[in-house]
Structure 1
Amino acid sequence: MAERNIAEHTITDRTTTERTAAEPTAAEPTTPERAIVLRGVRTNNLAGVDVDIPRNRLVTFVGVSGSGKSSLVFGTIAAEAGYQLNETFPPFARNRLPKWARPDAEHIRGLTPVVVVDQRRIGGNVRSTVGTVTDAWTYLRLLFSRLSRPYVGEASHFSFNEPAGMCPACSGLGEVVVSAVDRFLDLDRSLADGAVLLPGFGKGGYWYSQYADIGVFDVGTPLREWSPAERAALLYGGRATEPGLGMGRALPKGYEGVVERFERIHLHTSDSVSERKQETIRRFTRAEGCPECAGDRLGKAARTATVLGHTIGEMGRMEITELADVVRTVTSARVAPVVAALTARLEAMVTIGLGYLTLSRPTTTLSGGESQRIKTVKHLGSSLTGMTYVVDEPTVGLHPTDVDSMVALLERLRDDGNNVLVVEHDPAVMAHADQVIEIGPGAGADGGRLVFQGGFAKLRDAGTPTGLALAAPRPLKPAPRPATGWLRVADADRNNLRRLTVGFPTGVLTVLTGVAGSGKSSLADELVAQHGATVIDQKPVSTNRRSTPVTYTGIAPAIRKLFARHNGVAAGLFSANSDGACPDCDGLGVIHTDLAFMDGQEVVCETCHGRRFTQRVLAHTVDGLSIADVDDLTVEQALARLPDEGIARALRQLAAVGLGYLRLGQSLSTLSGGECQRVKTAKELRLAERPTTYVLDEPTTGLHMNDVGTLLDVLDGLVAQGHTVVVIEHDLDVVRQADWLIDLGPGPGRHGGTVLFEGHVADYTGRRTPTCHALGRSGPATGTGTGGFRNPR
């Protein structure tokens, strides 16, 4: 398709009656079969978008956060393609496939089957590892079942998810749950004052009398004044009352110690575990390596069998790069197909920058970017063509020097005859795209329009938000702020860290950099462990559909009280979870009908018409707005309409982090990882009082280049309030604005874990390191890297 400038793409609203699906338009290509044709798309905030997307091309979709690009790519193209593909299956099969909501569009043509590669972390199953999710472990255990000595048996004997192979002591988990006995007692309290911290064991609790009323223990004396034998008897009963321990008083027959009773109730029951019991288990237990298998997860026979002198457990703990080298040396013709398949899978992971991982790494410990790249590995060997790959920010978690490998992967998918549609903010990906499509110009109601379609070179001159940002890169901070003190992290050896001792300056913005897997997160974790900090990560803030930006940040009660004051009624009336909720939909606004093997049906509640509240509640207003009207306001609109300074202050924190376009009643389940992180940041801004250390994990995820400036203003605001801010980040605009830089590396995994530089960014020159190269400052070594800070290391 020919490139066209921004003026040619101004979209005007036209109703369905002004055109039909069959009506040709000037935007339609001469060969429509070579394009994905979209007409009148109104999904979410899209304002009747018309666009033709070329097929068999790498196309990037850009725009400010909330502009509507994801609504176009995921909510429209992927949703319609997924829905239509599902329709080809019988109803029973459809019930087991992902559900797709059909988009609001007048006409869609030219779709192909879709593969969505998003940033969601790979499940929470404790049995899931890098090896199992990529199928590499399947090939490895097949290899061992044929070549290992001594012979063990079929491949199932090397699977920790199969009864034949799993360690009997830990059931293949590699860990066992044990009582955290050190958390059971408060030694400064007496039994009567609640010295036993377990639920049900304090005074008035169900189990209290089993210890306080048996005439053995002094219920009024703090446990710290008891003898060690008495405390042991309380916890362990008969095992602690053997002759010579000095108890002096006999325990009654059948006495059950606190530890034994706790484990029987919470750990040795086969009943379903309630949320309350799960919380108790989380508080009072810890996971330890299995004493039998030492974390290998397998039975004894599988743990001792070897191939090339290595057990399967040892190979599972090798870095993938090293494992690939070992596997290539297997020369037996009998397993040549297995070796070829396993090698191809391992090499694919190395190609996309995951060579530092191990097959035994639990998927629950992977970042969103790592999860996304692992998902992509499964598609590299596919011989299918004509697919549509929809990829969400594939450079998340990647150092700038690693972006080329991800771009090469996307180009490979395209060159295999597929459509590759990428939502991305990284200019390096835009520069390699065959075409760039920008949605905007603003967020929410100010976005949703096609503002540019064409090549990257012309985007720079287009005058759009992305074009303007590309034309004005952020310079280095001219005057870094001085530290107010130091936090010393000593002898850090977590994961791949090599007993590091590092000083973190307080009262400034510190950025941790380095390639993926270099040890940045591990060092940040050590900072949190040794000094305490508030961590703001990208994990979803809630999976509850009732959770909204105002409920999560704690603004909702103030809004309910405002309505109560103005109308002289109880505040509970204005909660959709309480007295004022519509009785027919329980305050959800919709009614879901389960249709067994067919797709469930969700319809707007006929009683409240989606407003969630009773008519009595909706009759109460503030400034002409009902409580349901407030839910429909954006943050920016609410700032102008709600007459309460306390509410306004809280809303300004959401606006300050660039979320002014969110509706107050918008479900948090609809937010991206980056938006969730900013909601968390807004909450912390609201609650922050005394100086605190904040650790943020890649806060630029999901942010347009323009929005990065807003984020930096927020971080500067935290520093101005006396807080210490530590950011793990790859975005060079953030790196250039750091007061202090700590760069780790030089490589990932065992090739990293050392500090390459500490100091001002301006002094990081002349080093042959990935970060120095990305900053464009490599060359002959100059500078000391101290930047005027006195580091107490």
Structure 2
Amino acid sequence: MPPVKSTSTSRRKRASVKSRSGAHAIRIRGARVNNLQNIDVDIPRDALTVITGVSGSGKSSLAFDTLYAEGQRQYIDSLSAYARQFLDQIPRPDVDSIDGLAPTLAIDQKPGSTNARSTVATVTEIYDYLRLLYARVGTPHCVECGSAISQQSSEVIRDRLAELPDGTKLVLMAPMIRGRRGEHRDILDSIRVAGLIRARVDGEIHALEDIPPLAAKKNHTIDAVVDRLVIREDIESRLTESISLALRLSGGMIATLIQNDAGDWDEAIYNTAMACADCGNSFEEIEPRTFSFNSPYGACPSCDGIGKVGEKDRETVCPVCQGGRLRAEALAVTIDSKSIVDLTALPLSRAAEWLGEIETSLSELHQRVARPICIEVVRRLTFLQRVGVSYLTLDRAAHTLSGGELQRVRLATSIGSGLVGVCYVLDEPSIGLHPADHDRLIQCIRDLQQQGNTLVVVEHDEATMWAADVLIDIGPGAGSGGGQLIGIGTPQEIAADKKSLTGQYLSGTRRIPIPSTRRPQSKKWLTIKNVRTNNLKDVTLKLPLEQLIGVSGVSGSGKSSLINDTLYPALAKKLDLVAPAPGPHKSLLGSQHIDKLIVIDQAPIGRSPRSCPATYAGVLDEIRKVFAATREAKTRGFKAGRFSFNSADGRCELCKGHGAERIEMNFLSDLFVTCTRCGGRRFNRQTLQVRFKDASIADVLDMTVDESVEFFQDVPKVLRLVQSLQAVGLGYIHLGQSSTTLSGGEAQRIKLGTELAKSSTGSTLYLLDEPTTGLHFADVERLLGVLQQLVDAGNTVIVIEHNFDLLAACDWIVDLGPTGGEDGGYLLAEGPPETIADVRDNATGKFLKQILAAGKQG
């Protein structure tokens, strides 16, 4: 079936597409979310569909804001009102209908949880299995002497207590509940039936009739008070009877309170199953929660399970647990001489290998217990390795993962879940992945689809496009110039469609240009010697200045460790800039050639809904001056500050400049509706009456960058700023668009555009981490032009990249590897792209050679 195109943007005349699967499809009719132009499209079920198009064309609007949003809304609407109060309320997307929709799950790059305790092991639920494994087959050791823990008889407990000095006051208790939720009325009744009259509840001793009601949703600890006595010579018989009763009530444990010389009470635990044969210390029963750093029963009391102490900017490794996060009792439990902390510190591949071999070191009984646990963990570890994150360790903090790494971890978890009949929506899963790992990632996506699921992937990666069953191309441009269905069909059909910009790049009729000649090598060099940060193996890096430099290598090879964690902070220190401490290295030479250091990362440009591209880029400051200079503003006495929605004088007082009002919905989520006073325009009536070229300040903020370039042709200061945003491919975004709606790639390009607008003095070093994230072939071509422009002005640009079209256009490449994690961290090759391409058995060279050869043919 040839691709079907849409040339209509009206409600009456829509693009209508029928998939090959006929009725077996998700049928979207009249989609108008964001910039979508009232399109119809059928997405085949149980297939792999890739949505392509230039940045801002409407891909995410179709995949996430329409398809996924409606799936979530339908699911939430099926729940009871009580259950809905715990979920975010999702408004119905602007679409006529969506039929045939399966339950939808999004695997995106959003961080989800910022919990400092979250790790790769907890995100994948592998840690739950490991906690169970160590609780059931681990060997506990005494934290004092290191001896293996053995059983302690009731006679030994009696003798140890009887040896206390005469006159010592002793409270003997039977532990009944240790940190469990509930009112525990049955436990209190059992204490009463045993003939006892007191209990210690949450650390306080009460008469049974005086115990206050216990909160059902809180954890409680209850000990039955068996006896209160004073140690003396004739106490042995009474002590024996009390110990026997306590052991019988608790099932083998005794808790004691012993008054010391200062009059305080020291607590000790005695356990008939858990005691050190050498020093006599007793320990509580080992449970899965013993190994949880999210639980007070497992977390290190010094750092509360974080592994670090101190303030956020001055954190150091916890001196008690040495970063292990757990109590000493948990750290002292081992399997084949490895604690759970030792195991989670291993790279995924080595952890899987160890778990597959431990059975030989276990008893026959423990083998039967460990086998099903190990099989499940190894299965999940295998999935993680297949999606290209084998270099990660299980204890790696989740907040340190890149968006692409986190998405691939979630993808592996989904594959292991075994769900069928689900529609998965993925957002560029190839981000941050070297092409050498693409085949494995695509196969994992295929595995998920072949389990009986529908896969809808927003992607710019060419290999993923060619692997799709169906390509949906959205365009032709971005913003109001996009949102149309350009074509739908197989990759071959889209490649043959001359009207499809994506197709032109797929067919090779259009290519990202490779410079015919490289820049002459500079005589100025920046050298950092003997870098040993993270997995780097004593790397010495020499960079020619005034060049476009690419840093390449498979995921986890050490690129970020070298550039972001070492070179940047070391150079910043030389330039007297505030930066984190650099990673370990010997010296930095050549910094005298650099006047300024600029890092352009993908961190948000603002976290407040009021922040927007216009405020970050400084455009709004100049626009406010334009409005303040109008005759009407001068007549009214309005200054430039009046035209800010952060100003009490100029903003709408009802919505405080937000443009929307919050309405509380009791048991439902709060509802946000357009402000009834300003109509969502954020400013008050008097401010909106001031106009420039018949447009109010609200009208200007609602313009796209492309529209503002046309509008401010006669205002040089504004024009220069908006043209710089247009130059980096952001012509489709609105000047007043909330920063919270921007992707990481868009935020990075806003920063780049802002720097581009500044007067260049040369001798500036720009550092960019994967600037092609979220970019179509055409956008990469435009971005490359901007980077070359910066270098032509005498600056140095360093990009950490996996996009080989951009790497092929660099003057100099630094390649790290050969793999990720422990086996990576070596400097494999450095030089012009042609030099890297000729290196034998080099993953980067292999793909560069293909790109360079195709460029010569073109």
Name the residue aligned to 2:167: none
Alignment of 1:24-43 (within 5 A): 27-28=17-18, 33-43=23-33
Aligned to 1:474: 512
| Unaligned residue ranges in structure 1 (runs of 5+) | 20-24, 178-280, 780-793
Listed one character per residue, the Cα deviations across residues 514-561 of structure 1 (whole Å, up to 9, x for unaligned) are 000000011102110221232212222222111111011122111111
CA contact (8 A) 1:11 1:49 kept: no
Alignment of 1:355 onto 2:390:
yes
Structure 2: give runs of 5+ residues left out of the alignment. Answer: 141-148, 150-284, 360-366, 573-596, 853-858
Hey, which of these two has a bigger chunk of strand by percent?
2
Kindly provide the amino acid, as one letter, of the partner of residue 432 in structure 1.
A
Q: 1:97 and 2:132 equivalent?
A: no
Matches within 5 A, 1:742-781: 742-764=814-836, 765-776=838-849
CA distance in 2 between partners of 1:382 and 1:144 (Å):
23
Q: Partners of 2:821 and 2:560 in 1: how far apart? A: 12
1:229-628 → structure 2 map (5 Å cutoff): 285-331=313-359, 332-463=367-498, 464-470=500-506, 471=508, 472-474=510-512, 476-481=514-519, 482-525=521-564, 526-532=566-572, 533-566=597-630, 567-568=633-634, 569-578=638-647, 579-628=649-698
How far did residue 478 of structure 1 move? 2.5
| CA shift in 2, pair 1:356/1:476, >3 Å | same
Structure 2 counterpart of 1:719, from 777, 791, 803: 791
Q: Which range moves more in the overlay, 136-145 or 682-691?
A: 682-691
Q: Write the mapping of 1:84-123 to structure 2, written as runs, cut at 5 A.
A: 84-123=74-113
2-structure distance, mates of 1:13, 1:687: 39
CA contact (8 A) 1:766 1:778 kept: no
Q: Secondary structure at the match of 2:627?
A: helix
Residue 28 to residue 356, structure 1, CA distance change in 2 (3 Å): closer
Report the Cα distance in structure 2 between the residues aligned to 1:718 and 1:766, rounded to whole angstroms: 29
**How far 1:33 moved relative to its partner?**
3.7
Contact 1:476 1:761 (8 Å CA) reproduced: no
Matched-pair contact (CA < 8 Å) for 2:805–2:851: no
Counterpart residue number, 1:170? 303
Q: Are the structure 2 counterparts of residues 352 and 688 from structure 1 closer, same or farther at C-alpha, using a change threshold of 3 Å?
A: farther
Report the equivalent of 2:52: 62
Q: Which deviations, in whole Å up to 9, do the C-alpha atoms of 1:33-60 show, x marking residues without a partner?
A: 4011111111100111011111111000
User: 1:477 deviation in Å?
Assistant: 2.8
Shift of 1:603: 1.4
**How many pairs align?**
664
CA distance in 2 between counterparts of 1:391 and 1:451 reads 21
Match of 2:189 in 1: none
Where 2:656 maps in the other structure, the secondary structure is coil
> How far apart are 1:475 and its partner, in Å?
5.2
The SS at the match of 2:628 is helix
Q: Determine if the alignment matches structure 1 residue 81 to structure 2 residue 71.
A: yes
Once the two structures are superposed, residues 110-132 of structure 1 have per-residue CA deviations (whole angstroms, 9 ceiling, x without a partner) of 11110101112353221111111
String of CA shifts for 1:550-576, please: whole Å, max 9, x gaps.
Answer: 011122111111100113121122111
The CA deviation at 1:610 is: 1.4
Instruction: Name the SS of the counterpart of 1:106 in structure 2.
Output: strand
- What displacement does 1:31 show? 6.7
Task: Specify the alignment match of 2:37 in structure 1.
Answer: 47
Q: CA–CA distance in 2 between the matches of 1:751 and 1:473?
A: 35
Q: What amino acid is the match of 1:555?
A: V
Query: Taking structure 1 as reference, are residues 484 and 44 closer, same or farther at Cα in structure 2, changes over 3 Å only?
Result: farther
Distance in 1, Cα, partners of 2:316 & 2:660: 45
CA contact (8 A) 2:472 2:488 kept: yes
Q: Which residue of the partner structure matches residue 707 of structure 1?
A: 779
In the other structure, the counterpart of 2:585 is: none
Rate the CA distance shift 1:447–1:640 in 2: closer, same or farther, 3 A: same
Q: Match of 2:98, SS?
A: strand
Bigger radius of gyration: 2
- Looking at structure 2, the residues matched to 611 and 297 of structure 1 have their Cα atoms a distance apart, in angstroms, of 50
Code of the residue aligned with 1:62 in structure 2: it is T
Aligned-partner Cα distance in 2 for 1:349–1:326: 16
Matches of 1:105 and 1:572 in 2, distance apart? 40
Distance (whole Å) between structure 1 residues aligned to residue 447 and residue 333 of structure 2 = 39
In 2, the alpha carbon distance for the partners of 1:475 and 1:27 equals 34
C-alpha distance after superposition, 1:214-247 (max 9, x if no partner) = xxxxxxxxxxxxxxxxxxxxxxxxxxxxxxxxxx
Describe the shift of the 1:26–1:397 C-alpha distance in structure 2 as closer, same or farther (beyond 3 A).
closer
Tell me how far apart the structure 2 counterparts of residues 717 and 121 of structure 1 sit (CA, whole Å).
34
Give me the whole-angstrom Cα distance separating, in 1, the residues matched to 2:655 and 2:448: 46
Does the 8 A contact of 2:21 with 2:44 survive in 1? no
Identity, % of aligned positions? 41
Letter in 2 for 1:369: G
Looking at structure 1, the residues matched to 320 and 614 of structure 2 have their Cα atoms a distance apart, in angstroms, of 49
Q: CA RMSD in A?
A: 1.9
Query: Following TM superposition, by how much is the alpha carbon of 1:645 offset from its aligned partner in structure 2, in angstroms?
Result: 0.6
Q: Deviations over 1:645-697 (max 9, x none)?
A: 11111111101110011111111111122111111111222346443211111
8 Å contact kept, 2:460–2:776: yes
* TM, length-normalised to structure 2: 0.75
Cα deviation for residue 316 of structure 1 reads: 1.3
> What secondary structure, in the 3-state scheme, does the structure 2 residue paired with 1:718 have?
helix
